[in-house]
């Protein structure tokens, strides 16, 4: 079974659902908030579809319930974390030269 992801935007939040024939409303996958949610939501969805099956993610979600922790178990790094890591590396290169 493949992913059929749908984004719902509302205010400063973005909700991500997996839509199936059995559930046209969609099964909840994750919620994103703060300033630039679509950057994080797109990166999350891309990693999710490349590294998890819907059944595998649903089982992990039922056991843990934390979408970010589930993806991090397979090596996910958010765009915000990547930006901070690159900025710190650049700063270290300048000062440690």
* Digit-coded pLDDT (tens) for 15-68: 888 888 888 888 889 888 766 657 788 888 999 999 999 989 989 999 988 898
Q: Two tokens at 6?
A: 């749908």
Q: Is the pLDDT of residue 93 over 90?
A: no
Q: Two tokens at 82?
A: 């990547």
- Say which residues have a Cβ less than 8 Å from residue 20's Cβ, sequence separation at least 6: 1, 4, 26, 27, 54
Q: Is the pLDDT of residue 1 over 80?
A: no
Q: Two tokens at 78?
A: 């958010």
Task: Please indicate, yes or no, whether the overall pTM of this predicted structure exceeds 0.85.
Answer: no
């Amino acid at each position: 079974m493949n992913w059929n992801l749908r984004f719902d935007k509302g205010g400063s939040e973005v909700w991500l659902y997996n839509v199936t024939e059995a559930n046209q409303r969609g099964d909840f996958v994750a919620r994103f908030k703060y300033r630039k949610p679509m950057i994080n939501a797109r990166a999350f969805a891309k990693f999710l579809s490349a590294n998890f099956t819907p059944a595998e993610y649903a089982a992990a979600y039922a056991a843990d319930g934390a979408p970010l922790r589930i993806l991090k178990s397979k090596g996910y790094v958010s765009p915000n974390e990547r930006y901070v890591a690159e900025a710190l590396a650049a700063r270290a290169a300048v000062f440690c030269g």
